[in-house]
Structure 1
Amino acid sequence: MLIPEEIIYDPTAEVNSVVDLSTLVTKTPVTTPKGTYPILKRATDRFSSVAELAENPTLAEPEFEQVDWSVGTYRGAIPLSEEAIADSKVDLTALVGQSINEKSVNTYNAMIAPVLQSFTAKATTTDTLVDGLKHILNVDLDPAYSRALVVTQSLFNTLDTLKDKNGRYLLHNASDSITDGTAKGSVLGVPVYVVGDTLLGSAAGDQKAFVGDLKRGVLFADRQQVTLAWEESKIYGRYLGAAFRFGVQKADSNAGYFVTNTDAASGSTSGTGK
């Protein structure tokens, strides 16, 4: 008697630790393939005291910086055989849809990363990392900007081991009220989002970070969100096609800095935070 082979396999998705950077930037719906987006510059003038019934002084006109944007089309298809669909113990089409969603996040991040890398460069060592971050947050960035850190895993590991002079760790658990539960922690009161080393760097072990206002710094022109469709096929199966259109550009060049950290020669992991 032949006993049919049956492999019961209910796949469980890997732990999803990928941050969708597109949710942290300014996502603007657009209806054309290219255009300009006006960024209102910060006002530097002020009102003056005026005597009763005196003529109104002339205020400076608002200044705008025009950001040119354009969108690209990103698409592809995954073939599914009818045998695989019929023999699967789980909803195979739903799993493929989930996979396409993960691929779209990878695409968003890959397009946003070069924009983050293009901001003004700063260099730190592990011994000076905390002081360097404090200077960016307290001095270099205008107080009007919001603040966030997008760091590579290796830099996050460095931050996770830093202590202040009293031996207390500087990295704290993130508050869901300020990070929507997507940050890995907070440093100096700023939420920290973690990405892979090779997204912001070029190799494993690279310690890189964007520090600043993601929404002011990055424009995400959203022309068409991810759409799924079954495509015609001559095979005994189906093609699940996906397509979306978007573009990413730097908006406010003063909204952030790109930090490269290197380990100090001494190998010390103690910070200088107070």
Structure 2
Amino acid sequence: MNKELRELLDKINAKKEEVKNLANENKIEEAKAAKKELIDLQAKFDVLYDLEAETEDEIKDKIEKGEEKEVTNNKKDSTKEFANAARNGFRVNNKMSEGTPADGGYTVPEDILTRINTYKESKKSLKDLVDVEKVTTYKGQRTFKKRSQQTGFVKVGESGKIGGKGTPQFERITYEIEKYAGYFPVTNELLSDSDANITNALIEWIGDESRVTANKLILEQIATLDEVKLEGIDDIKKALNVTLGQAFKPTSKIITNDDGLQYLDTLKDADGKYLLQPNPVNPMEMRLCAGATAIPIVVIPNDDMATKTNKVPFIIGDLKEGIKFWDRQLMNIKTSDVAVIGDLNAYEEDLTLFRAIEREDVTVKDSKAIVNGYIEVTP
């Protein structure tokens, strides 16, 4: 891929982020305009990419006819490029970059990077439900105005003295980036196997570890909130109508696990109709429908959000308002075929060790936006 196409691809990725951010901020018209720009950029990329491919085909045709000498093909197979880098140990200095792989540069080709993102999104990730903010420093703060019950103005008679009123109060949320890491031993037989096996294995290991890490950190923060025992559908409705109230009920969801889904899937109304119904607009989305309440259900597998001591988790609320994920977005990957870690000797056992590091923090943004509920079931 030539320099012009690579720069255009960077603009496309940046524009995608802009569209997402505008949509998340409910700036719909601006998001639509940005999306149109994104479509235009993508169309330009496709045209230039096709022209480059046509040029290469012409060169190959001339070579076959003996009209020109063999030339280097500028268009590289990203999967093979990634696989060859893996076989050669990546030659990493200290971090992932999008430079050339020649001198200490670990290149993740564009399609491989996309596949990693797609893989992570195909799994159930709580990170998709919370407020994610990318940060550029390891430590920082955000200022919020405190909630307070205002009482309104006081009636004052003619020539009467006007009394003082309370002013807004503020508080800060602090984050501090931590490092999370792990190493992955890979047999050199695997690295000598097909390109597809190498990429799939590395994508699965690194991508899924990142997803599980995010889920763990988010659930740890939710667990810091007081547990609320829910006896049934009436307590769920009370959590929505009263505890969360009109500030959060319209944007709330119920996040539960497979056991919670089984519980909800057996609930019926007085007429024997099941309360769990598909959303008519999006049949793949389930909703709990009871009277005036219709709330979306998000199911996290038991492996990611376990039922503990017969207490099925029922997290109710708006996690985008309740939880903040601070993403430093630094992923360091380093490999070695001679490293020794404890009893593991890469050289002796013919292994390659991959070390992955990421940095992030998760904090409670607004505890009033979440009900940390559970329903006790009989084993």
8 A contact 1:212–1:257 mirrored in 2: yes
- Distance in 1, matches of 2:317 and 2:188, equals 49
In terms of Rg, which structure is larger?
A: 2
Q: 1:220 to 1:231 in 2, by over 3 A?
A: same
Superposition pairs for residues 1-274 of structure 1, below 5 Å? 18-42=123-147, 45=150, 61-88=167-194, 90-125=196-231, 129-145=232-248, 146-174=251-279, 185-188=286-289, 189-197=294-302, 199-201=304-306, 203=308, 205-225=310-330, 227=331, 229-234=333-338, 235=347, 238-263=352-377
- Distance in 2, matches of 1:260 and 1:20, equals 20
TM-score normalised by the chain length of structure 2:
0.54
Greater RCO between the two (CA within 8 Å, min separation 6)? 1
Deviations 1:49-98 (CA, angstroms, capped at 9, x unpaired): xxxxxxxxx99754433112222111223233332222348432332222
Extract unaligned runs of 5+ from structure 2.
1-120, 154-163, 339-346
- Distance in 1, matches of 2:364 and 2:131, equals 11
Look up the SS of the partner of 1:118 in the other structure: coil
* Aligned Cα root-mean-square deviation (Å): 3.3
Deviations 1:122-167 (CA, angstroms, capped at 9, x unpaired): 2123xxx111111111111131222011112212210011011121
Q: 1:263 to 1:87 in 2, by over 3 A?
A: closer
Look up the SS of the partner of 2:247 in the other structure: coil
* Worse overlay, 100-109 or 85-94: 85-94
Q: 1:98 to 1:40 in 2, by over 3 A?
A: farther
8 A contact 2:325–2:363 mirrored in 1: yes
Q: Residue type matched to 1:231 in 2?
A: T
- Distance in 1, matches of 2:186 and 2:206, equals 13
Q: Residue type matched to 2:370 in 1?
A: G
Look up the SS of the partner of 1:241 in the other structure: strand
- Distance in 2, matches of 1:220 and 1:137, equals 24
8 A contact 1:222–1:246 mirrored in 2: yes
Q: Residue type matched to 2:313 in 1?
A: K
Note the C-alpha offset of 1:18: 4.3
- Distance in 1, matches of 2:182 and 2:276, equals 40
Q: 1:95 to 1:174 in 2, by over 3 A?
A: farther
- Distance in 1, matches of 2:281 and 2:324, equals 25
Extract unaligned runs of 5+ from structure 1.
1-15, 49-57, 268-274
8 A contact 1:149–1:209 mirrored in 2: yes
* Count of equivalent residues: 235
- Distance in 2, matches of 1:204 and 1:91, equals 40
- Distance in 2, matches of 1:94 and 1:228, equals 19
8 A contact 1:85–1:93 mirrored in 2: no
8 A contact 1:160–1:171 mirrored in 2: yes
- Distance in 2, matches of 1:20 and 1:35, equals 25
- Distance in 2, matches of 1:77 and 1:160, equals 41
* Worse overlay, 95-104 or 213-222: 95-104
Larger proportion of strand: 1
Q: 1:206 to 1:175 in 2, by over 3 A?
A: farther
Q: 1:163 to 1:76 in 2, by over 3 A?
A: same
- Distance in 1, matches of 2:165 and 2:352, equals 63
Look up the SS of the partner of 1:36 in the other structure: strand
8 A contact 2:259–2:307 mirrored in 1: no
